[in-house]
Amino acid sequence: MMQKDSRIYIAGHRGMVGSAIHRKLLREGHDNIIVKASQELDLRNQQVTADFFKEHKPEYVFLAAAKVGGILANNEYKADFLYDNLMIQNNVIHQAYEYGVKKLMFLGSSCIYPKMAPQPLKEEYLLTGLLEPTNEPYAVAKIAGIKMCDAYRYQYGCNFISVMPTNLYGPNDNYDLQKSHVLPALIRKFHEAKANGTAEVVVWGTGTPLREFLHADDLADACYYLMQQYNDAGFVNIGVGTDISIAELAEMIKDIVGYKGKIIWDTEKPDGTPRKLMDVTKLTKLGWKATIQLKDGIKEVYKQKFDTN
Ligand SMILES: NC(=O)c1ccc[n+]([C@@H]2O[C@H](COP(=O)([O-])OP(=O)(O)OC[C@H]3O[C@@H](n4cnc5c(N)ncnc54)[C@H](OP(=O)(O)O)[C@@H]3O)[C@@H](O)[C@H]2O)c1
């Protein structure tokens, strides 16, 4: 169990996930948290990562550093998504073993599942079919991360665990339209259209894909819970267990933002996986459940990011 004074390293503490974990640890009274921005510590570099572990000897590690992006970025920068993510996770997981880290949590994502896997996605569907081509390199890296944790557990007895969150949103999300995920991209598009008095907002795809969204603070709560409670191979899905269509999501955000114009669906653009809903039976049995309602969460992030009132 992590103690209040345990040395805890959060890799990726400035990101949406890492910052939520950071806030959670501070709220829980942890006072020995180690953080470094990528400019000071590039985790793709084996030597500097080894030097960092040698100097700081963390006891617990949350591995939330990764190269992350939406369909556009994933599709265009395939080499970077594969290389950066493999390097970051290989270096951190291996050095965690070298320096006797008591427990490490590796964060993956729901894109690890086969494109046509049955829904909702159960943990056992991993590696049962072909991946979604647009984010295959990212998914391959994340699958390698799960297997690394399991292999180090098996060969060296390391208590390294993996969790796979569904689509997230929350403070410190990426609102750059070239790199962002669907939810922040929609918030920004509707906000700007309202501010500029634009009559129409063009949204990618058909609006029919079904997606699940979890608030980053709920995720951080689940990560904290599992870091204290879960000590096994394999991985745990983290989600809310319900999904909505992109069209419904767009209407919800349009309403929250107060945009009065029209939504135009650009059906030439790719939809991605038709449905992505996590089966959260394992997580529920372990004793954790999400609490933040989607509408409330979006209202809060919109207010934080754009609302001028
Ligand atoms: N966002 C989602 O919807 C979502 C969903 C499921 C799972 N996840 C998973 O959660 C994890 C974190 O995602 P996120 O959304 O928090 O991403 P994010 O906001 O883009 O943050 C990524 C973090 O990784 C760090 N990083 C990137 N390259 C690095 C490098 N070479 N060396 C050191 N640090 C580096 C960045 O550090 P600096 O800021 O210092 O540059 C940043 O803090 C990922 O594993 C992702 O797969 C995210």
Query: Do 36 and 61 meet the contact criterion of CB atoms below 8 Å apart?
Result: no
**Is residue 302 one of the residues assigned to a domain?**
no
**Contact residues for 200 (Cβ-Cβ < 8 A; gap 6+):** 193, 261, 262, 263, 264
82 CB within 6 A, ligand 1: no
Give a yes or no: residue 40 inside a domain: yes
Contacts of 255 by beta carbon, 8 Å cutoff, 6+ apart: none
Total domains in the chain come to 1
| CATH number where 136 lies | 3.40.50.720
Residue 112 lies in a domain: yes
Is position 183 within any domain? no
Q: Is 154 exposed, middle or buried (0-12, 13-18, 19+ CB in 10 A)?
A: exposed
Q: Which domain holds residue 57?
A: 8-172+212-243+277-292
Domain annotation covers residue 230: yes
- Give the C-alpha separation, 249 to 251, whole Å: 5
> Which residue among 9, 113, 138, 169 is the active-site one?
138
138 is catalytic: yes
> Does 91 contact ligand 1 (Cβ within 6 A)?
no
Residue whose C-alpha is closest to residue 12's, from 168, 152, 235: 168
Q: Would you give per-residue pLDDT tens digits along the chain (309 residues)? A: 999 999 999 999 999 999 999 999 999 999 999 999 999 999 999 999 999 999 999 999 999 999 998 777 888 899 999 999 999 999 999 999 999 999 999 999 998 999 899 999 999 999 999 998 888 999 999 999 999 999 999 999 999 999 999 999 999 898 988 777 899 999 999 999 999 999 999 999 999 999 999 999 999 999 999 999 999 999 999 999 999 999 999 999 999 999 999 999 999 998 877 888 999 999 999 999 999 999 999 999 999 998 755
Peptide bond before residue 120 is cis, with ω within 30 degrees of 0: yes
Structure confidence by residue, pLDDT tens digits, 24-43? 999 999 999 999 999 999 99
- The reply to whether 177 falls in a domain is no
- 192 located within any domain: no
